[in-house]
Amino acid sequence: MTCLSFILRILMFVVLWLAVLLGFGGCTNYGLRIKELAPDCYVVYGEGGNSGVLISDTAVLIVDTKMKQGAERLRRWVKRKAPHQRIYIVNTHIHRDHSSGNHLYDDAVIMAGSYGEKFWNALAAREDLPNRWIEDSVLLQWPNEEVVVYNVGQAHTYEDVLVYLRQRKVLFAGDVVLNGYHPFLDEHAGASVAGYQDVLQDMLQRFSIRWVVPGHGKAGSTELISTMQAYFRDMTEAAQNTESEMIARERYQSYSSLPINKAGFDQTISFIRKSETLR
Ligand SMILES: [Zn+2]
Ligand SMILES: [Zn+2]
């Protein structure tokens, strides 16, 4: 064998393997980043908000349905994993990055906090309208799991909903908890910093937690909740004096802002200042 044909053979081998790897990855996860947190319980990251998926023989629970291409990819992945199961969807809140895939699931039970139809249609898409409003809390009986769908009231929006898996100790927190992101404080949707603080404290007391899945960023431990509490404490102080503002700006400089809205350090500060003056 000549040196050239040897190199060509090696190259062909590498190209073939790359094609196999890419093809395999592409058709199994459709380009989605997925982590199995507990048996049959997954977090599907990004492309809109993070989603949770819990699969049993008879039913699938989807927490948040993403948006645009991400929503379509999530649907394809769920349908491949669970082609015949009944689908239950929970929207942690009304924002489109968490609810724009609802319409892709025919005959699904779609739950959300009790915003009501008029408010929903004003802020989100009519085609994604839920068919069950959760006013307080609901316990879904699941094979080997108790699923608590819990309306915590006003924090990130007027009607935030958490999903807690009691056996697996997994909490899907929606945008009440973020990891490494500034929150989007949307006054039209009912954002309230005081509400965030109450709900974050309540989460730590109410649930025994192994995994917290934030609305954006990586899943982690309860540390994500205490970090979020510290963020609001620091930002509230920063809104009151220039020195604290400089310290906080430095401390949170690695935080990202969500691309679909105006969230960021300055928005958090001005939101807090505005709500202090209104009080
Ligand atoms: Zn979000
Ligand atoms: Zn949101």
Q: How far is the CA of 8 from the centre of ligand 1 (A)?
A: 48
Beta bridge partners of 3: none
- Point out the ligand nearest to the CA of residue 176: 2
Q: How far is the CA of 148 from the centre of ligand 2 (A)?
A: 20
Collect all residues with Cβ–Cβ distance below 8 Å to 32 and sequence separation of at least 6: 44, 45, 47, 70, 73, 74, 77
Query: Whose structure tokens read 């609802």?
Result: 102
State the ligand closest to the CA atom of 67: 1
Q: Based on the number of CB atoms within 10 Å of its own CB, is 182 exposed (0-12), middle (13-18) or buried (19 or more)?
A: buried
List of the chain residues with pLDDT < 70: 1-4, 6-8, 10-11, 13-27, 278-279
Q: Would you state the pLDDT for residue 24?
A: 46
For residue 177, the CA-to-ligand 2 centroid distance in Å is 10
Rounded distance from Cα 8 to ligand 2 centre (Å): 52
* CB distance 83 to 178 below 8 Å: no
pLDDT of 28: 77
Q: Which ligand is nearest to the CA of 124?
A: 2
- Which domains are present in the chain? 33-221 (3.60.15.10)
CA of 189 from ligand 2 middle (Å) equals 9
Q: How many A from CA of 148 to the centre of ligand 1?
A: 21
- Which residues, 6+ apart, have CB-to-CB distance to 273 below 8 Å? 239
Residue 243 Cα, ligand 1 centroid: separation in angstroms?
30
Bridge partners of 36, per DSSP, are: 42
Across 42-64, b (16+ Cβ under 10 Å) vs e yields bbbbbbbbbbbbbbeeebbbbbb
Q: Nearest bound ligand to CA 184?
A: 2
Compute the distance from residue 7 Cα to the ligand 2 centre, in Å: 53
Say how many Å lie between the CA of residue 21 and the centre of ligand 2: 35
Which pLDDT value is given to residue 43?
Answer: 98
Please check whether residue 131 is in contact with residue 120, taking contact to mean a CB–CB distance below 8 angstroms.
Answer: no
Residue 141, strand partner residues: 146
Distance 6 CA to ligand 2 centre (A): 55
Ligand nearest to the CA of 186: 2
The answer to whether residues 127 and 103 touch, using CB atoms and an 8 Å cutoff, is yes
261 C-alpha to ligand 2 centroid (Å): 10
How far is the centre of ligand 2, averaged over its atoms, from the C-alpha of 150 (Å)? Answer: 17
